[in-house]
Structure 1
């Protein structure tokens, strides 16, 4: 019988599965070779060293994310739509955040969204440094929010059933506030509200 020839895409697919399941630290060339039933030298032949492999995985994931198309009638609503889409893409790929952090490739991952944000900033009348500030503010808000969400998820996994914090004095003075804070946060609603407020403030600069 003829032996199946290993391809670069098969190597990347196996590496991606390994990182999704166990994180970037679990990705070793020897472990990947064992997973594929091949020699370590064959892995190096197809993808180079581990650093090159991680870079290739980031590029592959960015390609999967594809171009981000804004929706909505106004620049503000379209920018919020880009932010929501980017958050969704990152949230669906927690392994990507870890890889990007390890390789210092955050800017590369954000590039598709950045292009859409630049277009909308220009449409809103922002130029130069103001446009750049608006684009970066939106990107930082998205990434920061996703990182907080991820940290909360990991904390809940490690300490399930953790006791809720006690009510503060200010909360006791405002029963409605206390009740609201006692309920679990709605990340989608919170993200959208905060992003709308941020974008409104940023775009107001275009009229000054």
Structure 2
């Protein structure tokens, strides 16, 4: 029996979940209605046609990325926290982010994170061109890292893989390096190390201990 009460937010939430799981091509008005246990006419009443629904999902994604809040005791730690939050958001919704990009709203989507980063860069004492460089460097680091992660996840199985190639390497001047590269990559740990190193190198007077100032960070 079709539902009699349904909100626009419930429709958008269900539509976003479908896109996250299967991509935008899997989102049909009839399929969404079946997912919600309601009539197709009810979906149209709440969100309009499919294009209007996709536009609403794009706006919702942009709004979600605007909710990133810096955390930590120092500007360096808060910058690292923004980088972590942005990576999580991008990884959590790749299909929705792709829809934002296709509609030419990528720069608008990143603006709130840029503003958050700019505030922390100012708190660290940088202004002008140097401040802009830090904001963009952190943003590019996050986006590039996510793209590499996605590419590795979608790539065909490698034979031999990186682990096997390094495991077969003859002991050289740095056997510990060969052993480490023969193990699967810990993406979370690598991301944290790379962002902290970037922040340490770009902010004035920043130490590694300062970048680790937020206890909640990995």
Q: For this structure pair, what is the TM-score category when the shorter chain's length is used for normalisation?
A: 0.7 to 0.9
2:213 corresponding residue in structure 1: none
Mapped contact 2:121–2:134 kept (Cα < 8 A): yes
2:138 corresponding residue in structure 1: 138
Q: TM-score w.r.t. structure 2 length?
A: 0.75
CA distance in 1, matches of 2:170, 2:199: 29
Aligned residues: 201
Structure 1 residue ranges, 4+ long, deviating more than 6 angstroms after superposition: 168-171
1:17 corresponding residue in structure 2: 17
1:95 corresponding residue in structure 2: 95
Mapped contact 1:11–1:46 kept (Cα < 8 A): yes
Change (3 A) 1:17 1:178: same
CA distance in 1, matches of 2:170, 2:70: 39
For residues 98-117 of structure 1, what are the alpha-carbon distances to aligned partners after superposition, in whole Å with 9 as ceiling and x for unaligned? 33333333223323322211
1:193 corresponding residue in structure 2: 193
CA displacement at 1:182 relative to structure 2: 0.6
What SS is found at the alignment partner of 1:110?
helix
2:124 corresponding residue in structure 1: 124
Mapped contact 2:66–2:113 kept (Cα < 8 A): no
For residues 28-70 of structure 1, what are the alpha-carbon distances to aligned partners after superposition, in whole Å with 9 as ceiling and x for unaligned? 345435545433x654443244443223213324444563332
Q: Any stretches of 5+ residues in structure 2 without a counterpart? A: 206-218
Mapped contact 1:18–1:26 kept (Cα < 8 A): yes
CA displacement at 1:184 relative to structure 2: 0.9
Normalized per residue, which structure has more helix? 1
What SS is found at the alignment partner of 1:9?
helix
1:38 corresponding residue in structure 2: 39
Mapped contact 2:18–2:27 kept (Cα < 8 A): yes
> Which range moved further: 94-103 or 141-150?
94-103
Mapped contact 1:66–1:112 kept (Cα < 8 A): yes
When the two chains are superposed, the root-mean-square deviation of aligned CA atoms in Å is 3.2
Change (3 A) 1:75 1:169: same
